[in-house]
Structure 1
Amino acid sequence: MARLCLIWVFALLWTLVTAKSLPNLRILTLGDSITKGNGSGGNPNGYRSRLRGLLVQAGAQVDMIGTLKTGTMADNDHEGHSGKTIKTIATKWQKPIVAKPNLILIHAGTNNMDLNEDLDTAPTLYANMLDGMFNEYNDVVILVVPVIYSKKAHLNKNREAFNAKLQTIVKQRQDKGKHIHITAVDITDADLSDEKHPNIQGYNKFADAFFAGINRVNDKEWLVAPAKIDYDAYPDVGLGRRGQ
């Protein structure tokens, strides 16, 4: 275990040292209670605080956007809607997209897999959501985390089938030249605060996986500086003055 931890630390340090310089980032984090940060303690920052810190440490100016605010972190805007399934989450990007984020981070589908809701249509709902984002703002880069492991057997069975389809959905859009990338998070029982929400250790894994994924798409030269916008025109989507 200690050896694995050392390998993980060295991999993260190598990413920090060797990564191409990041542009400024205007980031929309989208999903359910795992995006919000449930399970990460009394001040649910989830993965967002650590990820933001890693990006700032790497030299990026960061503005996290969204219509919700949760946690004690600075710049705590997000679109993590507790208890919601993909059908609802697939509508929640439509307001903050006007701020033209250059990066969208998505983890959605846990509640579908847990509640056995829309299992047949969830992949299509997800695919349509991605297409809607690209149709609205073609320059956006999207990072997708497949539905993470849980302690519930039925959820895991459902997520395995869904995640296989998600891989195909992402590959199809990559083949069309869309800037979308899958970054997996290896969650185990030790990383969970309950049956399906990460604990601090699990959220740290989330942050590190997203950070590595962001550097990977940046190395591909997908990321560009955020578009110039009129900040005063969009007062309710969490815009700050950092990732500009």
Structure 2
Amino acid sequence: MRTDWSRALPTFLLSLGWLTRATVVPGDFELRIMVIGASISAGQTGGGVVSNGYRKPLADLLVNDGWDIDYVGTRSNGDMEDNQHEGYPGIRTEPLAKQTREKGVVEEFLPNLLLLNVGTNDCSQRVNATEARRIYTAMIDAVFAPAGQENRFLIASTLLPRREQDAGLQNCTTTFNEVVRDLVQTHPMSARLGLADMNTGFITVDDLAPGDNLHPSEEGFAKMADVWHDAILSNMDRLTPPE
């Protein structure tokens, strides 16, 4: 559902000469955002509680920049007004890619910005590098398969740190993240891909919900929002209006 927000601040700053106009500035067009992934994308935190996740703090940051935003998707969670998403707790990357194609959610909602965080459940099964590359490539392909890809930008997220000290889980997380970072640069759609790196040390296991090995606390979700926000700003000139 669309929410209308003021665009006055960036326009005012431009008029004063305090803001240098780039190719794109906040408020030039709507960001129609599809949050896509598994339980973290749905907003699940400790104890299975589903909240606004990172969507609300990210919305606040983007609105403060001057953007009009509209979260889209077939699912709704949290008490925020614009609470749609495509987050499916427990889903792995390959089923999500298949579902994205079969449900036609990209064609239905025509997002111009997709935020993808998926792979944690794959690492719970300890996928290897070859498999990680295959399934993540399929996920990117599913996003860009429908017509209108020139209006679509995907920011792919690396996986958050895990609390478990199991070597296999830790190694898979490291490997999966290396695959994501590489595909953002080497996939045929790399011109329409950006990276939100959630595993640089900014977010740590202390930002996970108490007693939970995977899901962020509310403070952790706020940090995720910061990383997404930085990635969006870094790629702002590569964004285009929605169809």
TM-score when scaled to structure 1?
0.78
Higher relative contact order (CA 8 A, sep 6+): 1
- Correspondence for 1:192: 208
- Larger deviation, residues 90-99 vs 159-168: 90-99
What's the CA shift for 1:115? 2.7
Q: Deviations over 1:193-243 (max 9, x none)?
A: 11110001110011111111111111xx2111111xxxxxxxxxxxxxxxx
CA contact (8 A) 1:40 1:203 kept: no
Match status 1:180 vs 2:162:
no
Cα deviations across residues 124-167 of structure 1 (Å, max 9, x unaligned)?
11112212322323221110111110112332211101111222
Describe the SS at the equivalent of 2:71: strand
| Inter-CA distance 177–143: structure 2 relative to 1 (3 Å threshold) | closer
Q: Which amino acid aligns with 1:33?
A: S
Match of 2:134 among 121, 124, 129: 124
Q: 1:179: Cα distance to partner?
A: 1.4
* CA RMSD in angstroms, aligned pairs only: 2.1
Aligned-pair CA distance for 1:92: 3.6
Mapped partners of 2:206, 2:85: distance in 1: 26
Task: Give the corresponding residue for 1:46.
Answer: 53
CA–CA separation in structure 1 for the residues paired with 2:34 and 2:226: 17
Runs of 4+ in 1 over 4 A off after TM superposition: 40-43, 117-120
Q: Secondary structure at the match of 1:93?
A: helix
Q: Which runs of 5+ in 2 are unaligned?
A: 1-18
Residue 120 of structure 1: how far off its partner (Å): 4.2
Cα distance in 2 for partners of 1:181, 1:125 equals 18
> Are the equivalent residues in 2 in contact too, given 1:85–1:109 (CA < 8 A)?
yes
Percent identical: 29
Indicate how the Cα distance of structure 1 residues 47 and 141 shifts in structure 2: closer, same or farther if over 3 A, else same. same
TM-score of the pair, normalised by structure 2: 0.79
User: Secondary structure in 2 aligned to 1:128?
Assistant: helix
Partner Cα separation in structure 1 for residue 143 and residue 50 of structure 2: 30
Deviations 1:151-188 (A, max 9, x none): 123322111011112222111137x6521011112321
- Matched position secondary structure for 2:158: coil
> Of 105, 110, 114, which residue of structure 1 is paired with 2:120?
110
- Pairs within 5 Å for 1:129-140: 129-136=139-146, 137-139=148-150, 140=152
Q: Tell me the equivalent position of 1:59.
A: 66
Go from structure 1 to structure 2 and tell me whether the alpha carbon gap of 1:110 and 1:177 turns closer, same or farther (over 3 Å shift).
Answer: closer
